[in-house]
Amino acid sequence: DAKTTQPPSMDCAEGRAANLPCNHSTISGNEYVYWYRQIHSQGPQYIIHGLKNNETNEMASLIITEDRKSSTLILPHATLRDTAVYYCIVRVLTSGGSNYKLTFGKGTLLTVNP
């Protein structure tokens, strides 16, 4: 799986959009970009994933550049409860024999300030 690079920490004001960047310059054509987050002391939580098109769900939006070498997770209206470590993970999604395992880096600690 391709390696990802994220800033170690970011701050965001409550109510503003939080934009979390991720570089994955060695991503392969069949690798997806996944985002998980881990609120203090809890198990990680899935947020969103995408291949090449922008994706949106009830939690966040994922913007992937056209060359797929980087992406941005957007939390449109950050709240204090969004304070967490956010992990960007690149993974092949195939059927038949795949173990679907995730490789976690250190992620980005997002702190939402009142």
- Helices marked H in 20-113: none
> x/- site string to other proteins, residues 75 to 104, per CB under 8 A?
------------x-----x----xxxxxxx
Least distance to other proteins from the beta carbon of 29, Å?
18
Q: Is the dihedral of CA 28, 92, 52, 11 positive or negative?
A: negative
Residues 30-59 that bind other proteins (CB under 8 A): 34, 36, 41-46, 49
Contact 4, 21 (CB under 8 A): no
Q: Smaller CB distance to other proteins: residue 18 or 50?
A: 50
- As measured in angstroms, the least distance from the Cβ of 99 to other proteins is 6
Which spans of this chain sit near other proteins (rule: CB under 8 A)? 34, 36, 41-46, 49, 87, 93, 98-107
